[in-house]
Copies of this chain bind each other. A is one copy, B any other.
Amino acid sequence: MKKIINDPNLVVQDMLAGMVAAFPNDLKVVPNTTVVARKDAPVSNKVGLVSGGGSGHEPAHAGYVGQGMLDAAVAGEVFTSPTPDQVYEAIKAVDGGAGVFLVIKNYTGDVMNFEMAAEMAAAEGINVEQVVVNDDVAVEDSSFTTGRRGIAGTVFVHKIAGAKAEAGGSLEEVKAVAEKVVANVRSMGMALSPCTVPAAGEPSFVLADNEMEVGMGIHGEPGIARKEIATADEIAQELTQKVLDDIEFNSGDEVAVMVNGLGSTPEMELFIVNKKVHAMLADRGIKVYKTFVGEYMTSLEMAGCSVSLLKLDEELKELLDAESKAPAFRS
């Protein structure tokens, strides 16, 4: 295992300290927790947004904490759900009196632990609502999931629900727009190489020198096909077509595109994929409103990418464009 770390058991703690050192005016770690929160949290009378999950997906989720996006992100151990008590700490830290909204990626552990925390908070009189993101069209049910997995499309939920909360939306309004994003976002990914969880020390799976896996999850969960590596155009075609088949798109529709790198795929390759995605959308008369190319939801040093499409309406466009001061999503 080749990693720039100190102790495999301290990577999350060291990372959070290094992150807050980088952005001391914007972020804080809630004392004695693995919760990264806005420096000014709780913001009075604003709905507080909390997300999080296992670490190893950086910049998700703490990179999306900031004005206009999340109020707090809870970091679990690498690829491991944060415990209910940590989520509960996050909820308390961002409760400004207007309720707290949880954005949960659909993994069994995350859903269970976030829901348990919500119950703990409700018992304290905090109003909590949630959305579960399940944008990955690759497979139904997987290693750690019942139903579809939540992957890179989750970042659109953070951005848009965050903008709604920042604009003064009520808990019900934030929930409604988050559900609208979930209903309109689809993603699919593929991997060329595995990644190594620091505490495990060994790669989580093996791919041969000429192999790729299509539909692989962001923790290395199995996809739909392991096959010979294809060209960028063929890969983009396969991912994008599966997304397009899953939701009704009509000529004239507007979308946001995200081409997300999983960790070690050079930006050069992501832009090559983006070229084909745009060509496919143009062929179908689908208009691209905005494009995001980069590392938004990674799997440590896994090589590969995912393609996400979010179907937009006027409300979603406006909220997508709203200002964000989160370190990993400046707009």
Q: Which residues of A contact B (CB under 8 A)?
A: 2-6, 11, 14-19, 21-23, 55-56, 58-59, 63, 192-193, 209, 212, 229, 231-233, 235, 257, 263-276, 278, 288, 291-293, 295, 298, 300-301, 303-305, 330-331
B21, A291: Cβ atoms closer than 8 Å: yes
- The distance in angstroms between the C-alpha atoms of A275 and B18, with both chains bound, is 4
B235, A22: Cβ atoms closer than 8 Å: no
The contact of A301 among B19, B264, B274, B291, by CB within 8 Å, is B264
- The distance in angstroms between the C-alpha atoms of A14 and B300, with both chains bound, is 26
B232, A272: Cβ atoms closer than 8 Å: no
The A contact surface, by secondary structure, is mixed
The minimal Cβ–Cβ distance linking A210 to chain B, given in whole angstroms, is 8
Chain B residues with Cβ under 8 A from A275's Cβ?
A: 14-15, 17-18, 21
Using known A-B contacts A4-B272, A232-B5, A263-B264, determine if residue A291 contacts B11 with beta carbons closer than 8 Å: no
B5, A303: Cβ atoms closer than 8 Å: no
B235, A272: Cβ atoms closer than 8 Å: no
- The distance in angstroms between the C-alpha atoms of A268 and B58, with both chains bound, is 6
A298, B267: Cβ atoms closer than 8 Å: yes
Using known A-B contacts A268-B15, A268-B56, determine if residue A291 contacts B4 with beta carbons closer than 8 Å: no
- The distance in angstroms between the C-alpha atoms of A19 and B270, with both chains bound, is 9
The contact of A272 among B11, B278, B330, by CB within 8 Å, is B11
A5, B295: Cβ atoms closer than 8 Å: no
Using known A-B contacts A267-B58, A301-B266, determine if residue A274 contacts B22 with beta carbons closer than 8 Å: yes
Chain B residues with Cβ under 8 A from A267's Cβ?
A: 58-59, 63, 295, 298
B21, A274: Cβ atoms closer than 8 Å: yes
